[in-house]
Amino acid sequence: MILSLELTPAPFPSTAAIKAEEWDRLLPQIYLNTPFATWDWHDLWWKHFGHERENSLLIVREQGRIIALVPLYLETRSGYLKFIGGEDLSDFLDILAVKGKEAQVWRQVLEYLERSPIKARGLDLHSLPANSPTIQVLPLLAQERDYQVKMEVEEVSPVLSLPQSWEAYLALLNAKDRHELRRKMRRAEEAAPPLRFRQCAEDECARHDILSFISLHKKSRPEKEAFMDGEREAFFQDVAQAFARKGWLRLYILERNQKAVAAMLCFDYGDSLYLYNSGFDPELSSLSPGIVLIGYCIQDAISRGKRWFDFMRGNEDYKYRLGGKDTPVYRILIERP
C-alpha cells in the first residue's frame, strides 16, 4: 500500500525534497532507464527551459521508501500537466517507478490531480516508448474515473539490434545497402585528403567538440539552424559536460585536414548507444560524411559490446537502410471530467 504522496515546492529541483543520489538510486529499478530519466537531464532541462513554469515533482513513498518519481510541470498556455523534459528535446519520457508499481503510482497521481490546488485540465504526456507500462495501465485507470482519454502514435524510433561483429552487422543489410555503406566508407578513407574518424568521451575534449557539433548542426539544414537557438546551444554544452563526467557521452567526429566536417552527439548509456543528434558540412555531401560517420559509430558500439544502436525518434530513410526497425512512441492525452 502506498502511504504518502509528496509535492516538492518550486523551483525544480528541490534538493530538500530529494537529492540527486536518491534519484539515481531509483534508476536501476525502473522499467525504462534511459539518459532522459536521469537527474542530470531533468536538472539541466529545468535550468534552461523551466523559466516561470509551475512544477510538480511528485514523490511516491511506500513505508518511507521512495518507489516513484513523477516529474511534471504545468503548461499555462494549454492548462495541461506535462513531463519535465519537453517533447522537442527528450526522445523518451515516463514516470520513474519501481517495476510492478506503475499502476499504483498512476492511481495516486490521478487522485492527486482531483484534489490538487494546481487546476490542470489533465495530463498531456509525450514521448512514451512502446514498452512503457504507462501505456498499458494509465488509459484504463483514467477511463475508470470518467476521464476522456486519447492515445496516439506520436512518432517512430528505429532501433538496431547489434550482432557481435562488424561483418555480422553487414550481413544483416540487404545487398544494395551493404554495398553502398562499404563503398561510402572506403571512398571517404581514400579521398584526397581523406576523412579521418575520431571520438571524444571526456570532459576536456567535449568542451571543444560540442562547439564543432553545434556549428555543423546549424550548417546542415535551415530547419536545424532555426532549432539551435541560443538557449539550446547552452543546453547542449551543459549536457555534453555533465554526461562526459558521468561516462555517458560519445562525441564522434569526422575530420578533413584536422577540421571537423561531421559530428554525432551520442549517449553511451547501459547496453545501448543512442544517436541523439548530428551535423555535417553540406559542401562535402558528395562524400556522404553523415552516413560514413554513423558507420563508424556502429562499428564502435559493436566493438564495445553494446546490444542496441538506437537511431532515436524520426523516420528518416537512412535509419532503415542501416538496419533500424521501427518502435512506436506514443502520446497520451487525459482530460478531467
| Mean pLDDT calculated for residue range 5-16 | 49
pLDDT of residue 288: 96
Look at residue 1 in the predicted model and tell me its pLDDT: 40
Mean pLDDT of 277-297: 96
Query: Which residues are 254's β-sheet partners?
Result: 197, 262
Q: Is the pLDDT of residue 11 over 60?
A: no
Kindly indicate the confidence band of residue 5, based on its pLDDT and cuts at 50, 70 and 90.
low
Q: Which residues pair with 59 in a beta bridge?
A: 6, 69
Q: Tens of pLDDT along 99-109? A: 999 999 999 89
Which DSSP category does 165 fall into? Answer: S
Instruction: Give dist(CA 337, CA 335) in Å, integer.
Output: 6
C-alpha–C-alpha distance, residues 99 and 242, integer Å? 27
195 vs 189: CA distance, rounded Å? 6
How far apart CA 134 and CA 130 sit, in angstroms, is 9
**Does 120 have pLDDT greater than 90?**
no
pLDDT value at residue 61: 85
Q: Report the amino acid identity of residue 177.
A: D
Domains and CATH numbers, the chain: 4-156+329-335 (3.40.630.30), 159-310 (3.40.630.30)
Q: What is the pLDDT of residue 6?
A: 52
Q: Name the pTM for this structure.
A: 0.93
Which class for 174: exposed (0-12), middle (13-18), buried (19 or more C-beta within 10 A)?
Answer: exposed
**What pLDDT digit, counting tens, does each position of 214-233 carry?**
999 999 999 999 999 999 99
Locate all alpha helices (DSSP H) within 97-152, ordered by sequence: 102-115, 133-144
Q: Which three cell numbers stand for residue 93?
A: 519520457
According to DSSP H, which parts of the chain are helical? Answer: 20-26, 39-49, 102-115, 133-144, 166-172, 175-190, 203-220, 222-227, 230-246, 289-303, 317-321
Give residue 10's pLDDT.
39
CA distances from 170 to 181, 274, 288 (A): 9, 20, 18
pLDDT digits (tens, 9 = 90+) for 126-165: 999 999 999 999 999 999 999 999 999 999 999 999 999 9
Q: pLDDT for 157-185, tens place per residue? A: 999 999 999 999 999 999 999 999 999 99
In degrees to the nearest 10, what's the CA dihedral of 276, 281, 282, 284? Answer: -120
CA dist., res. 21 & res. 75, Å (int): 28
Position 31 pLDDT exceeds 50: yes
